[in-house]
Amino acid sequence: MNYEYFIAKRINSSKAYKSSISAPIIKIGIAAIAIGIIVMMIAIATGIGLQQKIRDKVVAFNGHITITNYDSNNSQESVVPVSTNQDFYPEFNSVEGVNHIQGVITKFGIIRTETDFEGVVLKGVGADYKWDYFKEFLLEGRLPDYTHKRNQEVLISQYLANRLGFKVNQNFQMVFAKDDPEKMPNIITYTIVGVYNSGFQDFDATYVIGDIRHMQRIKKWDSTQVGNFEVFIDDYNQLDAKWKAIHKQLPTLVDSYRVTDKFPTIFEWIKIFDKNIYGIIGIMILVAGINMITALLVLILERTQMIGILKALGSNNWSVRKLFLYNASYLIIRGLILGNILGLALLFTQKYFKLFPLDPSVYYVTEAPVYISLTYIVALNIGTLVLCLLMLLVPSYIITKISPVKAIRFE
């Protein structure tokens, strides 16, 4: 029989224990554990959620990996065409984990109205375009359809629509300069069929989505030529490995680069979130551990006579220490249960009701996103329990210094 666990259980369930001198300190210890687990859950959920949301928005406009011809041009406009007659297109079957590849062309243009104008990049896409991300971004209207004949349908951002006073089903003219400055520019009249908002203002202020065939006509490219390919993979965590595998499969005159290479500042910035999360977890566990140490010392002081009696009856120091560690475990678990209930309630409330907004010009999202996973919740609870108990091993050593004779006479 595990008598240490039996005695600890009897102590925790006794009414006298709940109304003892140590009761307020124990409640503070439980509250510290609960608050700590709530803060850690929020830090992880919002930190990872923000990372994923920002990363997905960058990927939506660029893909995970870009394949293009070798070119010294660093602008956003497609200059040197790459042929679609490739072994890796339209299906990149030679590399496992690639779920989609699409050809696009980008070109600078000017939106012209009667009272205003705006410089943007028209991203020409075709029937192979992956609309999954823009289905989530879509606010009004519908997505363009480029599966049939060439058309003038475009998808424009809410940011540009507000600046220029555009609405769904409204027409506007866009002017494209030719490569030869002496020739007249191309003017195309487009119809807005949908308005999107990614929350990423840098992209929303830049891109209009249109038919790739207009861009091929303006650039005098044939239907087998695109500006570059955008590749999407299943697992972002495998980005480096998949990029190396893809690069090995490419022809000699074709190059590739990762989305992290194109936007290094953004991805370096979101990596800082990991350090913030680790820092918060460390501080919260330290605070919770210190509170539990205080509670344990009070429990030992309050039960000094009981310690003396147990030692007099033959219990060794480790047995008595285990008794108090069982007692502390019970308190930690109570704090964890309370913290998990409140923490998950807050996270699900934010996930579905979006109570806490964020400034998109700073964080690239309109509300604090949350990532909820059973894996990190279980790991966080187990880690907190184990680390707090390890911290309690040192103060429990004071039990070895208690003399049975003095402890029994202690008042």
Q: How far, in Å, are 121, 276, 332 from residue 389 at the CA level? A: 58, 24, 9
Structure token pair of residue 297: 């010392």
* Tens digits of pLDDT across the chain (411 residues): 577 778 778 777 766 555 666 778 888 889 999 999 999 999 999 999 999 999 999 999 999 999 998 875 666 788 889 999 999 998 999 999 999 999 999 999 999 888 888 999 999 999 999 999 999 999 999 999 999 999 999 999 999 999 999 999 999 999 998 877 778 889 999 999 999 999 888 899 999 999 999 999 999 999 999 999 999 999 999 999 999 999 999 988 899 999 999 999 999 999 998 899 999 999 999 999 998 888 888 888 777 788 788 887 888 888 888 888 888 898 999 999 999 999 999 999 999 998 888 887 778 888 889 999 999 999 999 999 999 999 998 888 887 777 776 666 655
Strand partners, 189: 173
Element (H, E) at 119: strand 117-125
Residues 6+ apart with CB under 8 A from 316: none
Residue 42 and residue 183 in contact, taking contact as beta carbons nearer than 8 Å: no
pTM: 0.84
Question: 303 Cβ partners below 8 Å, 6+ apart?
Answer: 11, 324
| Mutual angle of helices 23-62 and 317-353, in 10-degree steps | 40
CA angle 254, 259, 261 (to 5 degrees): 80
Residue 195, class by beta-carbon neighbours within 10 Å (0-12 exposed, 13-18 middle, 19+ buried)?
Answer: buried
CA distance 256 to 277: 33
